[in-house]
Structure 1
Amino acid sequence: RSTNGTLVAGIGNGTAGNGTNQLSCPLGIYVDQSMALYIADARNGRIQKWLSGASTGTTVGGANGQI
């Protein structure tokens, strides 16, 4: 386990949740050409988009808790 790294999504305290700065059971990640991250947030049934340097994500997919 590495002790070095840079937090790029989430709040980094180990607490899962459904806030715009939280993830719960992230299962997949995609990085586009502009370096935006798209994260499949399974327990929240959504796709979160995180722009470079952002402190919160934006829900871009998922409805009624299903993705």
Structure 2
Amino acid sequence: MSRSTLNVRIPEDKHQYLRLKSTHSGKQLQEIVIECIDLYQEKDEDYVSKFKPLIDSKNEESTHGA
């Protein structure tokens, strides 16, 4: 899976939480952010019903075209 940069502004307290969680867990900040997004996606009904099938079909197209 390829990676891309995500630049967003978040409240300082959320940033502090991510830094502390990263330090405490011994994981890189990007790993913590990915885990947060994964947990959000699991509960996001729009993602499960609408977006995931679109993403999966695009991934299938890119692997078959490679």
TM-score interval, normalised by the smaller of the two chains: under 0.3
More strand by share: 1
- TM-score (normalizing by structure 2): 0.27
Q: Higher relative CO (CA 8 A, sep ≥ 6), structure 1 or 2?
A: 1
More helix by share: 2
